[in-house]
Amino acid sequence: MPSVPRGTPARPAHAPVTRPAVVEWLRTPRPAAAPGIWRLGHRERPQEEPDLVPARQLFSGAFIAYLCGWLLWSLLWNGYLEGWWIFVDEWWLLPMLWLVPDDWRSAASPNVELYVAATYLWNALVLSLLAVGFGRVGNWREVWLRYGVPLWPLFVLLPGVWREMPRTVTWLTWVSNIYYVLLVAAIVAAVGRIGTWPAVRRRVGTQAPTTPPPPAEADLADWPDLRAAGLADAATSLAEATRAGTLGDVDYARIRRAWQGVHARPERLAAFTDTVRRHGAAACAHPSGVRDLPVRTATHDLATAQVRIGTAVDDDRNPYARRTTGVALEPALLGTSLLAVGPSGSGKSVRLVRPVVESMCLLALANRAAVVAVTAHGTGLAPDDAFDLVIAVGRPDSTHDLDLYGGAEDPDEAARTLAEALVGDLAATLHGGDSRRAATALAQLIGPYQCVHGHFPAVPELRELLGGAPAALGALRIALEAAGDPGAAAQLRELAARERQSARADDVGVLLAERIAFLDRPAFAHFFRTDGGGRQFSLRAIEHPLRVRIDLPERGHAEASRIIARLLLAQFTEAALSRSDRSLFACLVLDDATYTVTADSVRAVQRLRSANAGVILALRTLEDVAEPLRDPLLGAVGCRMAFAGLAPWDGGRFAETWGTEWVQTRDVTNRQIISDEPLTKALHLMRRLVTGKAATAEAITVREVERARWSASDLAHAVPAGHAVLSLTTVRGEHAPPLLVDLRT
């Protein structure tokens, strides 16, 4: 191994096998493409499928052209076209005879062997021209592309005179053998040129396409942007690290992100230059110091922030331009949020959630994103080493606690998010039609408590206050009266209003007390603390490039897990919309969003598009969402994904959301031919006796009709296992129609 200079940063801990070397990766073209297309090495396809010649007509034309070429060659070779065509024998040899001296044609000439070799070379040239001409006339290119016709019939065109060649001269035998090889190579090259074998080779994937390196001034491995800005030393250092392999794709994306920040704030140029000079490939590192994930299970392109999730199937339902192209997700798509629906085992977690979480973690290491993944404990969405923080709610070995109020300081804001978590799924059953009454009731309690104690109440204290415990309410009232300041007087009025409302039979406090009781369990005794003890995590931290995974106790505390999931969704949308710096893409992934969606969260999801944030919601069925919210949820998200095994009633909602399209249909009508002519009658009778069918004539009617892009029946029964139907929309409004995607490739 070559020696490594002192001060060179260490190689990344894991060199992923899902990407090529960094230099090749940088030089691979990434053309602009439609939403959702995997751009790395993408090649555009025509928008419309070319008109195909019917197979019978194609084979007939190719065979007739072959026979004509063979006949013409036979006539030329056997001399049937000599003498009467023009008044010169062997007229088709004239160009060759003009180039060969006349004395070579004599049998006594010492150069007769050269004349024979020149004659055969000229014959090969004429034969190649015939092959090219009649190959084009017979459309052999289309035959080869469509059916892969063997090439051995073409060699029948070779003249049979090889057996008549003089074999007494040793060197002439060698010349003839060499000539035979050259002739075969010429014919194969000519026919291959006609049949576009390079395109076939690329299509079947027998050899990976080689990408010619771009010009030196455009070689991304040389960091031309830094050189153009006058940072030649920094560019040279990074270029050497790139070619040595010590700079990975995460390092490239991270340093590019820092350079973009320098463009936005030029005062950072000096700090950027100094950091690159001192640390090289490890410059501008993530706060954790990690430069790559320990394991990658998906294919990523950090230059475009894409992760590949599958391939568009070569199916009639997919647009022709999208068939066989890679399908990828990126922040520009996830910023419109994504809803994935499919039964257990359909691949939501393995083939969608896991690659997206992995991509967001890589982008976080590149200081370009913040991700919070919420999953059930033991799901194994990603290893612990892939995250900066793992919070296991309800487990004593968890190193961090979860902030019940999401870092809010205003009682009304804290009450609003907590009300979403407690009764958001039941808002339609409350008087008033939403959770505003619940938020008001919570604010009337946590506001006075904060005024007295300086922090919001923990779960046990909040449960006592919501339940109307006389001792808790009396102690709080006495403390407020003793304070004596104007703020305490206002909070005392709030508390008095809460006491009056608690006397009503339909008081919402009873329901809130029942819901908060799910969190007041011994398993959560050390969680949701508000006294400052322990290490708490708040969703306000998404302003930093964090990688967080929150494990919920789904097995033993299902209802508490749903409350926490709604709490996280409400806190995330509130934190994302209130960020001052929205340069980082913030993503919340809910591996199981059962009974998590509320009316307020649907409205908030729509607003995330302008906040450079998005959520991913995975559901087993739309029945896990309240009936009034199913259609609004499908309309709020920009990306929708229906997995194999979808129920017909769920498929009906997707079909209605995706709408209809105009398609061309062909109606074929057969009618019996009735003739009064005796001869025609006899022929029809004979045909009926032989075939058992009457003579008929076809009438074809072509018309435009409107039909569903994907019907409920197709979504329920026509989507193969391991596949999904995916529609995409970008934050700029560009969209892709529903595509049948193979998630296994």
| Nearest-angstrom CA–CA distance, 156 and 152 | 7
Query: Residue with structure tokens 């490739």?
Result: 745
Tokens at 312, concatenated: 């568009």
User: What's phi and psi for 308, nearest 5 deg?
Assistant: -85, 130
| Nearest-angstrom CA–CA distance, 65 and 645 | 51
Query: Residue with structure tokens 């031919």?
Result: 673
The yes-or-no verdict on residue 655 having pLDDT over 80 is yes
In the DSSP assignment, the letter for residue 37 is B
Note whether 530 and 456 are within 8 A (CB). Answer: yes
| Nearest-angstrom CA–CA distance, 417 and 423 | 10
> What CA–CA distances, in Å, run from 540 to 372, 413, 533?
11, 13, 19
pTM exceeds cut of 0.85: no
Instruction: Provide the 10 A C-beta neighbour count for residue 375.
Output: 24
Position 101 confidence tier, pLDDT thresholds 50, 70, 90: low
3-state secondary structure of 249: helix
Mean pLDDT of the chain: 81
Residues 6+ apart with CB under 8 A from 57: none
Bridging pattern class, strands 536-537 and 389-392: unpaired
Q: 29-78 pLDDT, tens per residue? A: 999 999 999 999 999 988 887 766 777 777 788 888 888 888 877 877 77
The yes-or-no verdict on residue 375 having pLDDT over 70 is yes
Q: 590-606 pLDDT, tens per residue? A: 999 999 999 999 999 99
> What CA–CA distances, in Å, run from 78 to 70, 72, 74, 187?
12, 10, 6, 21
Q: Which of 247, 244, 240 is nearest to 222 (CA)?
A: 240
**154-163, 201-210, 284-293, 304-313: which range is least confident on average?**
201-210
Note whether 423 and 600 are within 8 A (CB). Answer: no
Position 437 confidence tier, pLDDT thresholds 50, 70, 90: confident
The yes-or-no verdict on residue 384 having pLDDT over 60 is yes
CATH 3.90.1640.30 holds for 289-400+535-659+710-745 = no
Note whether 572 and 597 are within 8 A (CB). Answer: no
Domain positions in the chain: 58-204, 215-282, 289-400+535-659+710-745, 430-529, 667-708
Instruction: Provide the 10 A C-beta neighbour count for residue 427.
Output: 22
Q: 115-163 pLDDT, tens per residue? A: 667 777 777 777 788 888 888 888 877 777 776 644 444 444 444 444 4
Position 1 confidence tier, pLDDT thresholds 50, 70, 90: very low
Tokens at 44, concatenated: 């555009």
pLDDT over 70 for what percent of the chain? 81
Q: What is the CA radius of gyration of the chain?
A: 38
Bridging pattern class, strands 306-312 and 735-742: antiparallel
| Nearest-angstrom CA–CA distance, 60 and 40 | 41
The yes-or-no verdict on residue 15 having pLDDT over 60 is no
Tokens at 379, concatenated: 């799901």
Burial of 227 (0-12, 13-18, 19+ CB in 10 A): middle
3-state secondary structure of 354: helix
> Taking CA 9 as the corner, what is the angle to CA 6 and CA 12, rounded to the nearest 5 degrees?
145
| Nearest-angstrom CA–CA distance, 706 and 663 | 6
Q: Which of 545, 477, 456, 468 is nearest to 514 (CA)?
A: 468
HSE (side-chain half, CA atoms, 13 Å) at 370:
21
Rounded mean pLDDT of 732-741?
94
**What is the pLDDT, as a whole number, of residue 263?**
84
Residues shown for the chain: 745
User: What's phi and psi for 543, nearest 5 deg?
Assistant: -75, -5
C-alpha dihedral over 396, 402, 403, 406, to 10 degrees?
-170
Query: Higher model confidence: residue 3 or residue 553?
Result: 553
| Nearest-angstrom CA–CA distance, 273 and 291 | 20
Q: Where are the beta strands (DSSP E) in 596-734?
A: 613-619, 639-643, 660-672, 696-708, 723-729
**What is the pLDDT, as a whole number, of residue 188?**
54
Burial of 565 (0-12, 13-18, 19+ CB in 10 A): buried
* DSSP assignments along 402-424, one per residue: E-TTTT--SHHHHHHHHHHHHHG
| Nearest-angstrom CA–CA distance, 241 and 222 | 10
> What CA–CA distances, in Å, run from 369 to 257, 297, 562, 605, 609?
11, 19, 26, 18, 15
Query: Higher model confidence: residue 26 or residue 83?
Result: 26
Note whether 695 and 688 are within 8 A (CB). Answer: yes
**What is the pLDDT, as a whole number, of residue 92?**
52
